[in-house]
Amino acid sequence: MYRVDDLLFDGWYRHAVAGGFTDTFELYIDALCGLPPHDYAQALEAIGRRLGRLRPRASLWFRVHNLRGRWYLDALRDGLQNTGVSFAVTPFEEKFDPLKFTFWPVADRVPSPRPPAYLPEEPYWGWARSKRLVLQAMARLDRAYTREVASMVQLGRTQAYNLLASLEQEGWVERVALEDGYDYWQVRRKGLSAALRLWRIPPGQDFDERHERENPQATHHVGRVSKHNRTKRLWRDWLMNASFRSQITIYAVWSEVALPVNTICDALAWGEYEGRETLFWLEVLSSKKGHEDLRHDIVSKSNAVAAYVGMYGVPIVLAFLGQRWTLGTLGGVFSRIPKEIAVIAAPWTHFGRLPTPRWGDFQYLV
């Protein structure tokens, strides 16, 4: 690794191009590290701008691994609009190609000085991947129950509990015990700092986008579990318990994701359905709203889904869960559905009971 001030980079090279040698820094981006691509891009932009101030002739190469399909790569690239330096976003295995950068990397006949090497001393750099993922999930959720963490990182509940207990023993998270038995976990300042560093976020850099995007501090109130919040954090488990689970694969899942179509979805799972790269978009209908407000929200979300499909060309399964009476507001909204969208709806009373999605159609489970 290399260090520029307090920025860390996974690689640095002088690439010979027309005009001389580049000053190219590399960041290895894990597509399965617990951050949605649009949110992660906000932090990476800030790193690029800082690098540009410290090394004005630098270029930045984001090499993405653990990729499945094209969506994550495209979404990350689209989110990087103002890095301040020439940059490229490619699959990890691709070779350096100056034509992949946003503009030709600055090159000098006199090579740039080699940045100082950085030898990580903190223990978290040597952790097993599963332990890192659990801490990163906690850094995004802030507070969470064992089952929610297990669902987010796609581990068994026992394995997730053991990893959380290990993190607690080492002081990275803490267990909050409540009188009514609803114990949960909370990330500590030390744990948050470690997770940010594993994402390559330097000390002092604001990264509010790491949070769930709607009122993250209000998720758990003295042990009372919100059905709404519980449902969206367990979206992966809903899918993996559905009757069509043999037709799907889940790569990653996030709750409360801000998307560049002026909306926040309650949960988003990235994976495959029937062998095609697919996003599974969840909306949990609020029982605190009236019919007209619910209908307005449903139409707004449907338009956002259609716009997102148009932006990235990735098919989307749009799911609505809620109390039975809230689902009644869906009637008549989905008369014409694009062939790249499947809409499903079901009461949230029967866990994992979902209708089978059909492209260009609306399936409602009574």
Per residue in 267-282, pLDDT (tens digit) is 999 999 999 999 999 9
Residue 220 has pLDDT above 60, yes or no: no
Q: What CATH topology corresponds to 231-364?
A: Trna Endonuclease; Chain: A, domain 1 (3.40.1350)
Provide the percentage of residues in the chain whose pLDDT is more than 90.
81
Residue 218, pLDDT score: 41
Q: What CATH topology corresponds to 123-204+211-223?
A: Arc Repressor Mutant, subunit A (1.10.10)
In Å, what is the CA distance from 341 to each residue of 260, 312, 317, 324?
18, 13, 6, 23
Residue 237 tokens read as 């488990």
Q: How far apart are CA 229 and CA 300, in angstroms?
A: 21
Angle between helices 37-54 and 71-79 in degrees, nearest 10 = 50
Choose among 109, 26, 94, 33: nearest CA to 270. Answer: 33
Residue 219 has pLDDT above 60, yes or no: no
Residue 202 tokens read as 């330097």
Residues 228, 284 contacting (CB under 8 angstroms): yes
In the chain, where does DSSP find H-type helix? 37-54, 71-79, 129-141, 146-153, 157-169, 189-198, 227-233, 235-240, 291-312, 324-327
Residue 273 tokens read as 């359905």
Q: How far apart are CA 63 and CA 84, in angstroms?
A: 18
CB neighbour class for 338 (10 Å; exposed up to 12, middle 13-18, buried from 19):
middle
Range with lowest mean pLDDT among 57-61, 200-204, 294-298, 315-319: 294-298
Average pLDDT over residues 145-168: 96
With H, G, I as helix, E, B as strand and everything else as coil, classify residue 285: coil
Domain boundaries, the chain: 2-108, 123-204+211-223, 231-364
pLDDT digits (tens, 9 = 90+) for 17-55: 998 999 999 999 999 999 999 999 999 999 999 999 999
Cα torsion at 52, 55, 56, 60 (round to 10°)?
A: -50
Choose among 100, 34, 104, 102: nearest CA to 72. Answer: 34
Residue 221 has pLDDT above 70, yes or no: no
pTM: 0.93
pLDDT digits (tens, 9 = 90+) for 97-153: 999 999 999 999 998 999 999 988 899 999 999 999 999 999 999 999 999 999 999
Q: How far apart are CA 58 and CA 5, in angstroms?
A: 14
Residue 258 has pLDDT above 50, yes or no: yes
